Structure 1
Amino acid sequence: MGKAFRTLVGRPVDDRAANPSGPDKWQLLDQLTQAAETYELSHRTLTVLQALLTFLPTRHIPSGPAGIVFASNQRLSERLHGMPESTLRRHLAQLLRAGIVSRHDSPNRKRFAHSRGGKITAAFGFDLSPMVHQADAISLAATEAQARQEELLALRDEVLMLRAMLMQETGHEEQLAEVAKLLRRKAEKAELCEMTAALKNLLKTGLEQASKTEEMSTAYAQNERHIQDSDIIHFDSEGQGTFTPERPHPAESKEAEKDQSVCLGQVLSTCKEHQSFFPEPLRNWADVERISDKIALMLGIDQPVMIDAKRIMGREAAAITVLCMLEKANAIRSPGAYLRRLTQMARDGAFSLKPMLMALANREIVS
């Protein structure tokens, strides 16, 4: 079956006038256009029906011989802008099968009419009165078809909205391609409902994963604050001893130089590689720590490893260690494992910053 009209044909709606002799023929044609799929009528078949209606002089379809169109195929073809006769016969047969028109044949199957006193008394051709008899059924079918069309449009709009939401995420290229393919054709209700459910499920899964990620990030942040702000007893991974860090105080950042015998100037004069990535000057220990956190991410050091290093070594010492690691990054195969090893040494009391900085400084002198 061909595709039916989606736009109404016939006279303008505003030009329709109620007629006591019966329903308006153009209104019936409009309703048939909306219900074309119900009656299995293509847009070309509806065009033929429109041409038949033009041979009736009144806007309503009269009963009896006056409602019979007896125009020849040649006349009909002329009004259809030269439609081939074979095509015309096929569409006329479709109208007959749908029960929209009936055929009132003469003995020789010719189409003609007899008139007396200006009125048609007998006619042979296509009778259009079945349209009047089925007017209520046609109107109901048009209403139902319009409701189905509105439901399909609403489903398509929902699919488009869900597709737009899914495009904001990554990793759904295959599903988005399927949606685009579906929307390029005339999809059925079941297909649209199935696609809507699939898209909602993908979005729900994405929200759940995002929520879990946010919870994990929050947990990491809370854990880091807890480590920094609480006096706790830490059991090392090998169960060989315990370490109780002191509660950090604001003054400790000033005393870090004394404890490690390392000054900020010495660190900045020895560790210069960070300037290639972060050229802004480091004026205090807070700047050093902020830059070292970024460098740790660049080196591929996991956040828990960095948190553990800060807790065991101290915040400034861990930051200096990361800057030193950047200086010889080419020689370190696994920065994360390297920092874990240094953290273990600090836990055992076998780690000191000064020898590390001196070795880097001596390397510059030798080179």
Structure 2
Amino acid sequence: MQTVTTTPFGRRPVTAGQIELSALAARPAPVPAVDKWEVIQDLSLARAAFGVSDRTLSVLNVLVGVHARRELAEGDMLIVYASNATLSARAHGMPESTLRRHLAALVNAGLIARHDSPNGKRYIRRDGSGDAMRAFGFDLRPLLIRSVEIAQAAQAERGRQAELAALREEVVLLLRDAVKLGDHAGQVELSDRVALVRRDLRRKLEREALIALRNRLAALVDKVRESCVAGVEAPVATVEMSACDSRNERHIQEPDKEQSDSEGQAPDLRKVLERCPDVLDYATEGVRNWEGFVSLMARLAPMTGVDLPTWRDACQSMGPMEASVALAGIVQRIGEIRSPGAYLRTLARKARAGAVDVDRVMPRAA
């Protein structure tokens, strides 16, 4: 089949870009044939590299669908001469003005070539035996010629997306480390930084932004980890706990007598309740002694946001009575303390170093 013209029909002038694209379409193909749907799939992935939108590619998909064979092969008739009305119907009723705009974008991107007839109509001329002699319409041969280039661009885009996914995964893991290590170290001031990172992750970040975020989080995690290591004391002996819940609760609630004697005189329970009256709302039978008070605070701990390991650590580090007084102060000041669990862990760590005064945790006496 012969191509006899490369200039556009009507008043449209010929441009240097059209001449260059015509020369491109005339080059020998790098491969003898290619699966047209594989080319479309690769082009959909790498469309940004060719400056076309998904809507423009939907029109290209229609053109490729009109072509009868699955392969685009050297020597075949690759010109689509369907009318705008036919193409519009196949594009689910796309307006012809929109269709023409996307067809022009495909031509300008060098993905198809235009061969206009003398009157601007699209048609095919056949010889006496019915073979195609000349056709006017949109030539799909540039897709065959650029198929290797398109496949390479798609592979590069897959690599870019894989790198972005790995970077985003690393940022999420570092964020988790920052949150949990900061919570362990009692650094509640990290919450603002964490909120900013989570806000950034809601957006679609590019490579440079993700690398900057990763480096910032890595430095933050290193700093928090150093503070955790610096605050580690000699390991506390692990108390063997029974599998029975009632025995575990009793172990937490009952102060060790020897420990109480060594710590000196216990604080005045009546004054503690006067300064922290909110805890009495949860005491259905009142609070008559320290044993009842410790038992009440053990029940209140999970309601306040203090998990069982944190409560056990506080009882071991501070003693059950002092831990209960500290938790009562936290309950009374619940609107001021952002993270009760982290706050109690900080008090327990200071208690192990001998630098905590639970009296300061409670509100001042009226």
Superposed pair shares fold, TM > 0.5: yes
Output one character per residue of 1:149-178: Cα deviation in whole Å (capped at 9) or x when no partner. 111111111122222233323333333333
**Paired residues, what number?**
242
Aligned counterpart, 2:59: 48
% identity of equivalent residues: 33
Match of 1:83 among 73, 90, 94: 94
Match of 1:136 among 148, 165, 181: 148
After TM superposition, list the pairs within 5 Å mapping 1:33-112 onto structure 2. Answer: 33-63=44-74, 66-112=77-123
Counterparts of 1:21 and 1:162 in 2: how far apart (Å)? 50
Q: TM-score, normalised by structure 1?
A: 0.56
Counterparts of 1:191 and 1:330 in 2: how far apart (Å)? 45
After TM superposition, list the pairs within 5 Å mapping 1:140-219 onto structure 2. Answer: 140-168=152-180, 169=183, 170-214=188-232, 217-218=233-234
Structure with higher Rg: it is: 1
- In the alignment, is the contact (CA less than 8 A) between 1:65 and 1:122 conserved in 2? no
Computed over aligned residues only, the root mean square deviation of the Cα atoms, in angstroms, reads 4.0
RCO comparison, higher one (Cα < 8 Å, 6+)? 2
Q: Give the secondary-structure state (helix, strand or coil) at the position aligned to 1:124.
A: strand
Aligned counterpart, 1:16: none
Q: Which amino acid aligns with 2:67?
A: L
User: Are residues 73 and 180 of structure 1, via their aligned partners in 2, closer, same or farther at CA, if it must alter by over 3 Å?
Assistant: farther
- Displacement after TM superposition at 1:184 (Å): 2.4
Aligned counterpart, 2:342: none
Counterparts of 1:109 and 1:218 in 2: how far apart (Å)? 89
- In the alignment, is the contact (CA less than 8 A) between 1:65 and 1:121 conserved in 2? no
- Displacement after TM superposition at 1:306 (Å): 7.1
Output one character per residue of 1:69-93: Cα deviation in whole Å (capped at 9) or x when no partner. 1111111000000011121112111
User: Are residues 87 and 167 of structure 1, via their aligned partners in 2, closer, same or farther at CA, if it must alter by over 3 Å?
Assistant: farther
- In the alignment, is the contact (CA less than 8 A) between 1:113 and 1:123 conserved in 2? yes
Aligned counterpart, 1:118: 130
Counterparts of 1:115 and 1:82 in 2: how far apart (Å)? 30
- In the alignment, is the contact (CA less than 8 A) between 1:24 and 1:59 conserved in 2? yes
Q: Give the secondary-structure state (helix, strand or coil) at the position aligned to 2:72.
A: coil
Counterparts of 1:94 and 1:330 in 2: how far apart (Å)? 72
Counterparts of 1:330 and 1:51 in 2: how far apart (Å)? 74
Q: Give the secondary-structure state (helix, strand or coil) at the position aligned to 2:137.
A: strand
Q: Give the secondary-structure state (helix, strand or coil) at the position aligned to 1:160.
A: helix
Q: Which amino acid aligns with 2:134?
A: A
Q: Which amino acid aligns with 2:155?
A: T
- Displacement after TM superposition at 1:182 (Å): 2.6
- In the alignment, is the contact (CA less than 8 A) between 2:116 and 2:136 conserved in 1? yes
User: Are residues 292 and 120 of structure 1, via their aligned partners in 2, closer, same or farther at CA, if it must alter by over 3 Å?
Assistant: closer
> Quick check: 101-110 or 48-57, which moved more?
101-110
After TM superposition, list the pairs within 5 Å mapping 1:224-303 onto structure 2. Answer: 273=270, 278-279=290-291
- Displacement after TM superposition at 1:186 (Å): 2.1
Q: Give the secondary-structure state (helix, strand or coil) at the position aligned to 1:99.
A: coil
- In the alignment, is the contact (CA less than 8 A) between 1:28 and 1:138 conserved in 2? yes
Counterparts of 1:66 and 1:305 in 2: how far apart (Å)? 86
Counterparts of 2:58 and 2:178 in 1: how far apart (Å)? 43
User: Are residues 141 and 306 of structure 1, via their aligned partners in 2, closer, same or farther at CA, if it must alter by over 3 Å?
Assistant: closer
Q: Which amino acid aligns with 1:31?
A: D
Counterparts of 2:224 and 2:364 in 1: how far apart (Å)? 40
- Displacement after TM superposition at 1:22 (Å): 0.7
- In the alignment, is the contact (CA less than 8 A) between 2:67 and 2:78 conserved in 1? yes
Q: Which amino acid aligns with 1:109?
A: G
Aligned counterpart, 2:13: none
Output one character per residue of 1:311-337: Cα deviation in whole Å (capped at 9) or x when no partner. xxxxxxxxxxx9xx9xxx99999xxxx
User: Are residues 63 and 106 of structure 1, via their aligned partners in 2, closer, same or farther at CA, if it must alter by over 3 Å?
Assistant: farther
- Displacement after TM superposition at 1:35 (Å): 1.3
Aligned counterpart, 1:318: none
Q: Which amino acid aligns with 1:40?
A: G
Counterparts of 1:276 and 1:80 in 2: how far apart (Å)? 81
Q: Give the secondary-structure state (helix, strand or coil) at the position aligned to 1:146.
A: helix
